[in-house]
Amino acid sequence: MGVLQYYFSMKVLMWVLVVFVQIREHNGCLEEERIGLLQLKSFLMSNPYTSSEHLLPSWVEDDSKSECCGWERVTCNSTTRHVIELSLDNLKSSLGNPYYYTPETVAEVWSLNVSLLEPFKELRSLDLSLNAINGWIVDEGLENFSSLRNLESLNLGYNFFNNHSILQSLGAITSLKTLNLTWNGLVGYFPAQALVGLRNLNTLDISNNCFNGTLPNQGFERLAVLKNLQTLILDENCFENCFDDSILPSLSRLTSLTTLSLAKNVDLGLRGNGEGGWESLSRLENLEILDLVSVTSTRAVFYSHLLQSNP
């Protein structure tokens, strides 16, 4: 065979390979991600809280090997066939409303093995809310959250996270636009510094935890570098403690905010309207929605006047 012929047959072979790969991709999800989903299911089956014969019934090994884009709770991009969304909220669907968490639920809290998310490199949205998760297993040497390079929305609400270090790990997901940590057991100061790398962050929900205003040097003003941050939900951090007025000057630096919710923080509004009190918030020029439900009411009313006279 001449050099030229060899060259052309190699070229044809390459084309066949490319076309083959494309056809495979268009027919179903990618093999690596299908295996990843099955490994994730097998982990969840080995976990007392999620283990059930009714868990993810469509996630099964079969001969066609390519239909996982049609599996429940999985969404693929219709062009690339990559998994882009995993809606793994309330895996134990019978759990229902978080108010019904029983002592048994608490006894079964579990940690998610983060390495299992590594195959989903194009994941945009991950919902793990309502699952009694209280931590992560990060295998040494394996990639951690930083492998989720495209993740834009992460919902960890209604779980049992009680350790600040979770925020440190999440700080590596620089693509995040929405981070939801509502209804967890995070206590003490809010470690804002851990999140300053999230330059795309638009919405942060840390309502219904036990954060309070201690350690002002870790304050919310650190988030002022997040120029896309528009929505900040701090409701009801009162399971044990509350935000008090000491956070107001710090919040007043977050000038990109359009929505700020401080509802049900009963220690807010005690210092009054002056410098260091509600007046500081008048610097938030872009603010459209301010939720102060159940905050000391006369001050809240006063502030809403301030907003109107200062458009």
Ligand X SMILES: *[C@@H]1O[C@H](CO)[C@@H](O)[C@H](O)[C@H]1NC(C)=O
Residue 137 near ligand X by CB under 6 A = yes
Residue from the set 3, 61, 62, 79 that interacts with ligand X by CB under 6 A: 79
Residue 276 near ligand X by CB under 6 A = no
Specify the stretch interacting with ligand X by CB under 6 A; choose among 52-60, 139-147, 216-224, 300-308.
Answer: 139-147
Q: Which residue has the tokens 């918030």?
A: 281
Residue nearer to ligand X on the CB measure, 63 or 72:
72
Number of residues that bind ligand X (CB under 6 A): 31
Other CB atoms within a 10 A radius of the CB of residue 102 amount to 9
Nearest to 34 by CA among 79, 64, 2: 64
Residue from the set 84, 117, 151, 287 that interacts with ligand X by CB under 6 A: 84
Instruction: Report d(CA 34, CA 24) in Å as an integer.
Output: 13
> Which residues contact residue 207 at a Cβ distance below 8 angstroms, ignoring those fewer than 6 apart?
182, 183, 233, 234, 235, 236, 237, 261
Instruction: Report d(CA 67, CA 164) in Å as an integer.
Output: 39
Residue 208 near ligand X by CB under 6 A = no
Specify the stretch interacting with ligand X by CB under 6 A; choose among 50-58, 99-107, 110-118, 301-309.
Answer: 110-118
Nearest to 69 by CA among 61, 78, 60: 78
Task: Give, as ranges, the residues between 231 and 270 that touch ligand X (CB under 6 A).
Answer: 233, 241
Residue nearer to ligand X on the CB measure, 267 or 277:
267
Provide the residue type at 8 as one letter: F
Nearest to 223 by CA among 249, 265, 253: 253
Residue 115 near ligand X by CB under 6 A = yes
Element (H, E) at 4: helix 3-27
Residue 157 near ligand X by CB under 6 A = yes
Nearest to 59 by CA among 40, 83, 82, 79: 40
Instruction: Report d(CA 188, CA 263) in Å as an integer.
Output: 18
Specify the stretch interacting with ligand X by CB under 6 A; choose among 8-16, 182-190, 277-285, 299-307.
Answer: 182-190
Residue from the set 27, 165, 286, 297 that interacts with ligand X by CB under 6 A: 165
Question: Any idea what DSSP says for residue 216?
Answer: G
Residue nearer to ligand X on the CB measure, 150 or 294:
150
Q: Provide the minimum distance between the beta carbon of 172 and ligand X in the complex, in angstroms, as a whole number.
A: 4
- The two structure tokens encoding residue 209: 């935890």
Specify the stretch interacting with ligand X by CB under 6 A; choose among 10-18, 51-59, 168-176, 301-309.
Answer: 168-176
Specify the stretch interacting with ligand X by CB under 6 A; choose among 17-25, 48-56, 76-84, 287-295.
Answer: 76-84
Chain residues binding ligand X by CB under 6 A are 39, 77, 79-80, 84, 113, 115-116, 129, 137, 139, 143-144, 146, 155, 157, 163, 165, 169, 171-172, 180, 182, 187-188, 203, 205, 212, 214, 233, 241
